[in-house]
């Protein structure tokens, strides 16, 4: 069947659903029912969600979990985490409790500078363009004042604009490279609006410049866009304690554990195959909080992974050492986050999450997010270097397997009891359920 469609966006929500159901499903009524089951009963709230994106047909839910006991800079936080992966929230909460009894996490925002660029082609001499830019630089600031005035009142705005010659990379390629302070907003719309005005100013001033040839009077602006790579918008998170304090009462030799932990981090620093999985664990924590607080986790991911490659080789984001009997574990990452604007003022659960965090500033949220990433990494490495990652993870995953096989309440109790003292694997659980049902039948 031809599945091409014309004018899909103009169909009503019901019309879109019926088109999908009738073309892709053997039981259209069941498909329609499934989608409608995930609609919110509150029509006003559903309309709000429908307007977030285009061609909305239903809601796609993720669990919102809570990790309490995060002691950060001597203040306790209960952290919201939106994620679908088993054991992530439990691991974060466990690490938070562990470090709350050892002085907690320390976090510091080192810088909050954000970046945007106007990419353009200039067919002329670099020296003429540089002279032109230096003579007109103040006009780029002046002609964006209508955009920046409100941001300036909050202490933000354009920090600087420089001309970058990139002709060694591409013929005739230049940039207007601008840095910004956006305070408590992530600032994407603000930055992009400034950049588009820079592009207009560049083209107008070039046209008016008598020193330029006709070709030089027409620089070709390719694009004006912010960068999600923010190497000067950095937050540091760390924990430390005496090595002997790493013992939690279990049969774990603290010194041996500390040394093995540091070695595991060093492996991630030098081995990219390990570093990717190592950093993925960090992002389990970071993305979950970023998503719960209405920020752009794709932008955060891209920027952080670029930062992990800043040396020219992909490496661990976190670091660890033992020095004079003190264990220290830390991380510095770029984070561009906001607590005003966008979904932060629209999505009811985002507003709930921010209120639960006591309405943090953007800097405070940066600290919280970085700490959760570090906590997640600590929990993963602690499991990897002691019991192994699968023991705890598969026990958390047991519930998903039970749900997959639609176990009854009676079966659920029996399955959980059985695997209290038996290794959990998907095949082992399936075998047990099948045998259980054979006996019952």
Residues 6+ apart with CB under 8 A from 339: 184, 185, 293, 354, 359, 360, 361, 362, 365
∠ at Cα 152 (146, 157), nearest 5°?
Answer: 85
Return d(Cα 243, Cα 393) in angstroms, integer: 26
Residues 6+ apart with CB under 8 A from 421: none
**Tokens at 159, concatenated:** 């920090």
**3-class secondary-structure state, position 242:** strand
Q: Which of 280, 321, 351, 418 is catalytic?
A: 280
* DSSP summary character for residue 101: T
The catalytic position among 296, 347, 363, 364 is 296
Looking at residue 11, what DSSP letter applies?
S
Q: Catalytic annotation on 319?
A: no
Helices (H), 293-420: 297-308, 348-356, 362-384, 389-404, 409-418
Name which of 353, 304, 427 is nearest 67 in CA terms: 353
Half-sphere exposure of 422 toward its Cβ, with a 13 Å CA cutoff?
Answer: 15
- For residue 68, which phi and psi values (nearest 5 degrees)? -85, 180
Pick the catalytic residue from 114, 119, 278, 393. Answer: 393
Pairing mode, strands 173-181 and 234-242: unpaired
85 is catalytic: yes
Nearest to 193 by CA among 136, 135, 134, 149: 149
216 is catalytic: no
- State how far the Cα of 383 lies from the Cα of 386, in Å rounded to an integer: 5
Give dist(CA 116, CA 283) in Å, integer: 24
Known catalytic residue at 51: no
The continuous run of DSSP H or E covering 223 comes out as strand 220-227
Residue 165: phi and psi, rounded to 5, are -90, 115
- CA–CA dist 152, 180 (Å, integer): 11
> Do the Cβ atoms of 188 and 294 come closer than 8 Å?
no
Residue for token digits 């003429």? 128
| Contact (Cβ atoms closer than 8 angstroms) between residue 131 and residue 206 | no
Query: Residues with catalytic annotation?
Result: 85, 280, 296, 393
């Amino acid at each position: 069947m031809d599945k091409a469609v014309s004018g899909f966006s103009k169909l009503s929500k019901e019309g879109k659903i019926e088109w999908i159901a009738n073309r892709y499903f053997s039981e259209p009524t069941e498909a329609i029912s499934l989608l409608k089951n995930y609609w919110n009963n509150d029509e006003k709230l559903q309309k709000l969600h429908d307007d977030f994106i285009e061609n909305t047909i239903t809601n796609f839910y993720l669990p919102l979990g809570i990790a309490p006991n995060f002691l950060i800079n001597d203040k306790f936080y209960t952290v919201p985490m939106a994620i679908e992966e088993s054991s992530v929230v439990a691991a974060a909460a466990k690490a938070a409790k562990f470090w709350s009894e050892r002085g907690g996490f320390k976090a510091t925002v080192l810088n909050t500078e954000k970046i945007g660029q106007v990419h353009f082609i200039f067919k002329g001499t670099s020296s003429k363009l540089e002279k032109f830019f230096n003579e007109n630089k103040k006009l780029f600031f002046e002609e964006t004042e209508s955009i920046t005035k409100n941001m300036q009142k909050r202490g933000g705005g354009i920090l600087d604009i420089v001309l970058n010659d990139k002709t060694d990379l591409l013929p005739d390629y230049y940039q207007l490279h601008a840095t910004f302070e956006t305070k408590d907003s992530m600032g994407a719309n603000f930055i992009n609006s400034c950049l588009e005005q820079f592009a207009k100013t560049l083209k107008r001033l070039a046209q008016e410049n008598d020193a330029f040839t006709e070709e030089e009077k027409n620089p070709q602006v390719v694009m004006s866009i912010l960068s999600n790579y923010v190497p000067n918008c950095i937050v540091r998170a760390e924990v430390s304690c005496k090595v002997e304090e790493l013992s939690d009462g279990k049969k774990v030799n603290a010194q041996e554990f500390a040394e093995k932990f540091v070695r595991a981090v060093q492996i991630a620093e030098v081995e990219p195959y390990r570093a990717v999985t190592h950093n993925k664990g960090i992002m389990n924590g970071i993305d979950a909080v970023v998503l719960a607080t209405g920020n752009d986790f794709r932008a955060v991911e891209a920027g952080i992974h670029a930062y992990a490659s800043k040396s020219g080789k992909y490496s661990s984001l976190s670091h660890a050492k033992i020095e004079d009997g003190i264990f220290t574990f830390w991380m510095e990452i770029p984070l561009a986050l906001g607590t005003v604007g966008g979904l932060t003022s629209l999505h009811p659960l985002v507003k709930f999450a921010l209120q639960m965090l006591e309405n943090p500033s953007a800097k405070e949220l940066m600290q919280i997010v970085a700490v959760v990433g570090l906590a997640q990494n600590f929990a993963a490495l602690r499991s990897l270097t002691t019991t192994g990652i699968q023991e705890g993870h598969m026990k958390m995953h047991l519930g998903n397997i039970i749900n997959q096989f639609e176990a009854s309440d009676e079966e659920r109790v029996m399955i959980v009891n059985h695997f209290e003292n038996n290794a959990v694997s998907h095949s082992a659980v399936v075998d047990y359920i099948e045998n259980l049902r054979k006996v019952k039948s």
